C-alpha cells in the first residue's frame, strides 16, 4: 500500500552544545527603599540589563542572547522602556505632543518602570526566569541629568529599582550611531537627538552633541552603578561572544 515506512528512530540530538547551567542564586537587593513586601531571597532568576544609546545594537544582541539562553534551557522574559501595560500608550502620546515638564515626564517614565518591575520583573525572577532588560533606570537617570535635574532626587525615585545581576553598556561613538540610525530608520529621533534641550537647531548636530553628553553622564554613573562597558563597534558575533562569556559568569553566581 501507499504507506511510507520509517526507519528506526534516530538517536536524540543535543539541543545545544553547552550543558544547561542552573543559575546559582545570589543575594539580591534594591538600590533604595524598593518595593515593600518582596522576599528578595525568593528571587532565584537573574536580571541582565543591556544599556546603550539609540542604535547601539541592544535589540540585535538581546535577540541573540534570548536564542542562546533558551537553547541552554533557560526561560527568558524581556522588558524595556515604554513597555508597561499601564502607561506605555499614554507615554507615547505625551512624547508626541511634547507638552509635559521634565519632572512630569520623568515621573511618567518612572511609573512605566515601576509597573514592569512589580508585574513582570519580580514575578519572573521569583519563577527563576532570566530577565533581559533593554535599558533600565540608568538611561532614565542620564536623560534627566542631561536636562539638569537633581541627582539626589533621581536616586530617590529610582531607589525602587532592583540591583541587576549584570549591566552591560554598549559603547558606540555618536558618528557611528548616526549612520546606524539612518540605515535603520532613515531619520533621527527627536528625543534621542535631544532636540527639546535646544543644543542646536540642526538635528544632526544636536544628535552628536546630545549623545556625547549622554555618554559622559553614563561614564560618570559607571563608578556608582558598576556597569560593564562593552565596545559596540565590533561585529555582532564578537560582541555577543563577550556578552555570553560574561553572562556565564553571572549564571554560576560569581
Ligand atoms: N555590531 C554591529 N555592527 C554594525 N551594525 C550593527 C551592529 N549591531 C546592530 N547593528 C545595526 O544597527 C542598527 C541598530 O541596531 P539595533 O536595532 O539592534 O539597535 P538598538 O540599540 O536596539 O536601537 P533602538 O534604540 O532603535 O532600539 C540596525 O540596523 C542593526 O542591524
Ligand atoms: Mg532596539
> β-strand 46-52 against 76-80: which pairing, if any?
unpaired
pLDDT at 174: 92
d(CA 80, CA 62): 11
Alpha carbon dihedral 96, 101, 105, 107, in 10-degree steps, equals -160
pTM score, whole prediction: 0.90
Task: Tell me which of 62 and 224 has the higher pLDDT.
Answer: 62
Sign for the pseudo-dihedral over CA of 194, 91, 51, 221: positive
Q: Kindly give the distance from the C-alpha atom of residue 73 to the centroid of ligand 1, in angstroms, as a whole number.
A: 26
Which of 59, 189, 241 should be mutated for ligand 1, with most atoms under 8 A from CB?
Answer: 59
Q: What is the average pLDDT score of the chain?
A: 89
Does residue 3 carry a pLDDT above 90? no
Q: Kindly give the distance from the C-alpha atom of residue 172 to the centroid of ligand 2, in angstroms, as a whole number.
A: 14
Q: Is the CB of 54 under 6 A from ligand 1?
A: yes
Which H or E run contains 229? strand 228-231
- Atom 3, ligand 1: residue with shortest CA distance: 235
pLDDT at 10: 53
Which of 132, 168, 184, 188 should be mutated for ligand 1, with most atoms under 8 A from CB?
Answer: 184
Q: Which CATH number fits domain 40-251: 3.30.565.10, 3.40.50.880, 3.50.30.10, 3.40.50.300?
A: 3.40.50.300
pLDDT band at 13 (very low <50, low <70, confident <90, very high): very low
Does residue 62 carry a pLDDT above 60? yes
Q: Kindly give the distance from the C-alpha atom of residue 168 to the centroid of ligand 2, in angstroms, as a whole number.
A: 15
Q: Is the CB of 52 under 6 A from ligand 1?
A: yes
Q: Is the CB of 60 under 6 A from ligand 1?
A: yes
Does residue 6 carry a pLDDT above 60? no
Amino acid at each position: 500500500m501507499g504507506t511510507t515506512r520509517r526507519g528506526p528512530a534516530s538517536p536524540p540530538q543535543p539541543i545545544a552544545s553547552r550543558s544547561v547551567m542552573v543559575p546559582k542564586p545570589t543575594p539580591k537587593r534594591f538600590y533604595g527603599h524598593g518595593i515593600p513586601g518582596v522576599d528578595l531571597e525568593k528571587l532565584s532568576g537573574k536580571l541582565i540589563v543591556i544599556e546603550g544609546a539609540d542604535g547601539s545594537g541592544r535589540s540585535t544582541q538581546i535577540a541573540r542572547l534570548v536564542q542562546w539562553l533558551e537553547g541552554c534551557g533557560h526561560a527568558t522574559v524581556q522588558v524595556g522602556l515604554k513597555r508597561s501595560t499601564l502607561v506605555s500608550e499614554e507615554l507615547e502620546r505625551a512624547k508626541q505632543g511634547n507638552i509635559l515638564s521634565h519632572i512630569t515626564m520623568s515621573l511618567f517614565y518612572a511609573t512605566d518602570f515601576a509597573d514592569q518591575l512589580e508585574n513582570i520583573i519580580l514575578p519572573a525572577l521569583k519563577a527563576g526566569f532570566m530577565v533581559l532588560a533593554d535599558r533600565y533606570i540608568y538611561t532614565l537617570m542620564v536623560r534627566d541629568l542631561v536636562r539638569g535635574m537633581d541627582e539626589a532626587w533621581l536616586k530617590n525615585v529610582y531607589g525602587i529599582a532592583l540591583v541587576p545581576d549584570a549591566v552591560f553598556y554598549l559603547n558606540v561613538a555618536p558618528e557611528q550611531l548616526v549612520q546606524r540610525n539612518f540605515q535603520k530608520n532613515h531619520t533621527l529621533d527627536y528625543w534621542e537627538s535631544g532636540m527639546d534641550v535646544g543644543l542646536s537647531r540642526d538635528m544632526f548636530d544636536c544628535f552628536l552633541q546630545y549623545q556625547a553628553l549622554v555618554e559622559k553622564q553614563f561614564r560618570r554613573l559607571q563608578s556608582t552603578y558598576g556597569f560593564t562597558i562593552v565596545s559596540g563597534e565590533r561585529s555582532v558575533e564578537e560582541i555577543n561572544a563577550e556578552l555570553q562569556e560574561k553572562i556565564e559568569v553571572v549564571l554560576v553566581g560569581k
